[in-house]
Amino acid sequence: MSNQSSNQMWGGRFASGPDAIMEAINASIGFDQRLAPQDIAGSRAHAAMLAATGIVECSDAEQMRKGLLTILSEIEAGNFEFSAALEDIHMNVESRLTDIIGPVAGRLHTARSRNDQVATDFRLWVRDQCDAVEAGLTALMRALLGQAEAGADWVMPGFTHLQTAQPVTWGHHMMAYVEMFARDRSRFQDARARMNECPLGAAALAGTGFAIDRDMTAHALGFDRPMANSLDAVSDRDFALEFLGASSICAMHLSRLAEELVIWSSAQFRFVMLSDRFSTGSSIMPQKKNPDAAELIRAKIGRIVGANIALLTVMKGLPLAYSKDMQEDKEQVFDAADTLMLALAAMEGMVRDMTANRPALAAAAASGFSTATDLADWLVRELGLPFREAHHVTGSLVARAEALECDLPDLSLAEMQAVHGQITTAVYSVLGVENSVASRRSYGGTAPDQVRRQVARWKDLLV
């Protein structure tokens, strides 16, 4: 834009303004305008502290406070003209403050730098996102709990290697995701607690000669304490990386659930019906109902992990303290946070609305010799066979059933006894899927009463 006159905020030693390309690569206002509320909150805290410590006149600070509030309402109303010539949100706000209150605005930047300013603003923004993600995760956990409670005793096949393994309950499968998302929630809570220290007052890198009160600004902004090392305060972006790391793991969990929904909603599985509100049609194939939201959630992890790696790569090898490289932090985190929030909301809606196909789940649970382990366990318990031998006997029975194209419970007693003479009719009781799941009562097991215990525990924890 302006390459005749030098920058009004820092152009004292410059004879001319920047080249247009320089301005284009340098300006961050196109994206960091999202930090406006945090920037204004930080400036208000700083102004109040400058007045309380006698560094600026109280009447000046009062003008700053009013002017900053005016700017906030202008931005909120969409009446603020952001200027690329003013580079970033910090200088856009300060320049507008000068328009409104005159040269006294120039006192606001006493004892601070854009380096501690941006570190503070960004921490505040990421801190808010941790809270938003936590709320999104809680809503998703509630939707999963609703499914688990309704289907605590609905049998379905449990898989390993995506091959039928042992019967489990629908509720148990849903609760597995509750546990995963609960760990995600605690990762965001941990990150939030660790990031809750205030960089403001670190100034450019070395602290300041003014007698500032860093506890005052830290507490005004809801931080637990000021950061203890000024070099670290302006050069640290661990908080953003922790947010991206927690987001990456959470996105990985979402992609696993999304993948299951894609598989389960297929005509081959028919385990779930997605609601019309969370599926789409095909423009050519009239019969189709596609799980697009699940597919997109499955894919979104790419952007989030990409952001994580991008920021790690930006930060790698940067010497202390601030370097302009660090301006590349924001777009990655903004995009990852927006993406994660959208994916969480879409998953919550899909899970809340979906209908499990209980008969299809039950039919699938009973196929694929899913109770073979129960049979082997019965041979151990009732006939005293060593487990390895029981495994072998059961394998022979499975082979026999396969040859006869039937399931294990369809084998006659004579067929069974041909493989092991001591087998009795009592064996049939363990070949039923309902009995199989009901027997798995060990803590954390799939038995419906265990699932109900976990549902009750989580319902208490989520109130």
- Which active-site residues does the annotation give? 161, 282
C-alpha to C-alpha distance for 326 and 199, rounded to whole angstroms:
15
Q: Which stretch binds ligand ARG (CB under 6 A): 112-120, 194-202, 311-319, 348-356?
A: 112-120
By the rule CB under 6 A, 265 interacts with ligand ARG: no
Q: Please state the φ and ψ torsions of residue 421, each to the nearest 5 degrees.
A: -60, -25
By the rule CB under 6 A, 126 interacts with ligand ARG: no
**Residue 257: how many CB atoms within 10 A of its CB?**
22
Do 207 and 232 touch, CB atoms closer than 8 A?
Answer: no
Residue 167 forms beta bridges with which residues? Answer: 157
Binding mask 303-322 for ligand ARG (x = CB under 6 A): -------------------x
By the rule CB under 6 A, 115 interacts with ligand ARG: yes
Binding mask 233-252 for ligand ARG (x = CB under 6 A): --------------------
C-alpha to C-alpha distance for 101 and 23, rounded to whole angstroms:
27
By the rule CB under 6 A, 120 interacts with ligand ARG: no
What are the structure tokens assigned to 448, written together? 């419906």
Residue 138: CB minimum distance to ligand ARG, A: 32
Do 307 and 335 touch, CB atoms closer than 8 A?
Answer: yes
Relative orientation angle of helices 170-195 and 238-264, to the nearest 10 degrees: 170
Q: How many helices (H) and strands (E) does the chain have?
A: 19, 6
- SS3 state of residue 419: helix
Q: Smaller CB distance to ligand ARG: residue 127 or 298?
A: 127
Q: Smaller CB distance to ligand ARG: residue 191 or 326?
A: 326
Q: Which residues lie closer than 8 Å to 210 by C-beta, 6 or more apart?
A: 53, 55, 110, 111
Q: Smaller CB distance to ligand ARG: residue 139 or 314?
A: 314
Residue 234: CB minimum distance to ligand ARG, A: 9
- Count Cα neighbours of 325 within 13 Å in the Cβ-side half-sphere: 17
Q: Which stretch binds ligand ARG (CB under 6 A): 39-47, 114-122, 137-145, 345-353?
A: 114-122
- SS3 state of residue 112: coil
Place of tokens 């340098």: 26
Q: Smaller CB distance to ligand ARG: residue 271 or 322?
A: 322
By the rule CB under 6 A, 92 interacts with ligand ARG: no
Residue 331: CB minimum distance to ligand ARG, A: 10
Exactly one of 60, 88, 197, 242 binds ligand ARG (CB under 6 A); that residue is: 88
By the rule CB under 6 A, 164 interacts with ligand ARG: no
Do 224 and 291 touch, CB atoms closer than 8 A?
Answer: no
Q: Which stretch binds ligand ARG (CB under 6 A): 44-52, 111-119, 353-361, 386-394?
A: 111-119
Q: Smaller CB distance to ligand ARG: residue 161 or 324?
A: 324
Q: Please state the φ and ψ torsions of residue 197, each to the nearest 5 degrees.
A: -125, 145
**In this structure, are strands 163-169 and 155-160 parallel, antiparallel, or unpaired?**
antiparallel
Exactly one of 46, 96, 112, 114 binds ligand ARG (CB under 6 A); that residue is: 114
Residue 181 burial class via C-beta count within 10 angstroms: exposed 0-12, middle 13-18, buried 19 and up: buried
Residue 118: CB minimum distance to ligand ARG, A: 4
- Residue count at the site for ligand ARG (CB under 6 A)? 10
C-alpha to C-alpha distance for 387 and 391, rounded to whole angstroms:
6
> What is the dihedral sign for C-alpha 285, 290, 296, 299?
negative
- Comparing CA positions, the residue from 37, 45, 44 lying closest to residue 219 is 45
Residue 7: CB minimum distance to ligand ARG, A: 11
Q: Smaller CB distance to ligand ARG: residue 35 or 71?
A: 35
Q: Smaller CB distance to ligand ARG: residue 28 or 196?
A: 28
Residue 205: CB minimum distance to ligand ARG, A: 9
Residue 332: CB minimum distance to ligand ARG, A: 12
Exactly one of 75, 118, 200, 431 binds ligand ARG (CB under 6 A); that residue is: 118
* Interface with ligand ARG in residues 319-338 (CB under 6 A): 322, 324, 326-327
C-alpha to C-alpha distance for 413 and 425, rounded to whole angstroms:
7
What are the structure tokens assigned to 419, written together? 């493989």
C-alpha to C-alpha distance for 175 and 186, rounded to whole angstroms:
17
Q: Smaller CB distance to ligand ARG: residue 308 or 327?
A: 327
Do 433 and 155 touch, CB atoms closer than 8 A?
Answer: yes
What are the structure tokens assigned to 263, written together? 């598989």
Q: Smaller CB distance to ligand ARG: residue 125 or 458?
A: 125
Residue 302: CB minimum distance to ligand ARG, A: 25
Residue 203: CB minimum distance to ligand ARG, A: 11
* Interface with ligand ARG in residues 11-40 (CB under 6 A): 28, 32
By the rule CB under 6 A, 169 interacts with ligand ARG: no
Residues that bind ligand ARG (CB under 6 A): 28, 32, 88, 114-115, 118, 322, 324, 326-327
